[in-house]
Amino acid sequence: MPELPEVETVVRSLAPRLVGQRILAITTTPSRVFRGQQQVITACLPGQQIHQVQRYGKNILLTLDRHRVRIHLGMTGKLLFAPAPSTHPRAMLALEDALLVFDDIRQFGRFELLPAEESGPVLGEDALEIAPATFAARLRERRGAIKNLLLNQVFLRGMGNIYTDEALYLARIHPLCPGFLVPRRKALALHTSMRALLQEAIAAGGSSISDYVDASGQRGAFQDRHQVYGKEGDPCPRCGAAIRRMVVCQRGTHYCPRCQRMPSVR
DNA sequence: CGGAGCCCCTGTAAGC
DNA sequence: TGCTTACAGGGGCTCC
């Protein structure tokens, strides 16, 4: 499931091969990933040059001559350069020097056309860029559970289920702890561990749990360094207590019941 | 604001 | 072995 590090890895593998290239042709198969824009997309993309490839949270933005393409990988979306194998191609872009395929098994992703200057919905600050003090101050303003806040892209952009569980574990914060009840010291610790975690994951090429691969079809390596995600029942690497799993906003949530305590109410 | 619940979608794993 | 069912979850939506 692509989150910030996976999307960043994809963008890095795409950029050198896309910038400056002209889109010669595009073919699509009917899919909800186009949100009704399939006709417009096939009509508008050919002939335009790609000027920039950026990450905006978990979105990939391609800046063209007259438009911008916003790609979200959802759960199983991939951007692949031929000849990397593709099983569920939704869009195929013929470029001057490459063939790029947007593949998405479950179609939770999106491939949509935006006006040139737009980036889609306005999201919160990037998880890798937000300043520690700002992060702590924002948390203090909210009553919602910390896990929900970190997953909320309008609050903070880039974090997904896996890295949220890992970051909360590293900072020893219970996933259900309300934002304003996270002590400033722990909020700063969370900022530090989140940043380090994301950077290490990017350096490892992201986490490949099931489907994720970069644009060359390469899997990431960070899944081997997860401490709690997918580790229900395993001993906590720090204290040995059994890692627990619960559901928070419909997401499997993994944590150490001993290391990650709720603040005591008194 | 915030939480709960549902939906989309399909491959995989578990259960019978 | 083969069928059925549950589950995975990013994000968008409604409802209270």
Residue A187 burial class via C-beta count within 10 angstroms: exposed 0-12, middle 13-18, buried 19 and up: buried
Q: Provide CATH code, domain A125-255.
A: 1.10.8.50
Asked if residue A150 has pLDDT above 90, the reply is yes
Would strands A156-157 and A125-126 be described as parallel, antiparallel, or unpaired?
Answer: parallel
Query: How far from chain centre, in Å, is Cα A86?
Result: 21
A145 CB contact with strand B at below 7 Å: yes
For residues A29-40, average pLDDT:
92
Percentage of chain A surpassing pLDDT 90?
77
b/e per residue A131-158 (b: at least 16 CB within 10 A): eeeebbebbeebeebbbbbbbbbebbbb
Which stretches within A204-244 are classed as H helix?
none
Distance separating alpha carbons of residues A146 and A127, to the nearest angstrom: 14
CA of A76 to C1' of C4 (A): 24
pLDDT tens-digit readout, A196-251: 999 999 998 877 777 788 888 888 888 878 889 988 889 999 999 999 999 888 88
User: Identity (one letter) of the amino acid at A139?
Assistant: L
Report pLDDT for A165: 93
Is the torsion defined by CA of A1, A143, A180, A145 positive or negative? negative
Q: Annotated catalytic, A245? A: no
Strand B proximal residues, A:70-99, Cβ < 7 Å: 75, 88
pLDDT tens-digit readout, A186-203: 999 999 999 999 999 999
Report pLDDT for A230: 87
Report pLDDT for A99: 95
CA of A35 to C1' of B9 (A): 14
Report pLDDT for A265: 61
CB A104: neighbour CB atoms within 10 A?
Answer: 28
Nucleotide nearest to A250 (CA to C1'): C9
Report pLDDT for A211: 75
Cβ–Cβ under 8 Å, residues A26 and A45: yes
The helix (H) or strand (E) run that includes residue A132 is helix A132-140
pLDDT tens-digit readout, A159-187: 999 999 999 999 999 999 999 999 999 99
Q: What does pLDDT average to over chain A?
A: 92
Q: Domain boundaries in chain A? A: 4-115, 125-255
Report pLDDT for A220: 86
The yes or no reply on domain A4-115 and CATH 3.40.50.300 is no
CA of A259 to C1' of C11 (A): 30
Distance separating alpha carbons of residues A113 and A44, to the nearest angstrom: 9
Asked if residue A266 has pLDDT above 60, the reply is no
Report pLDDT for A201: 92
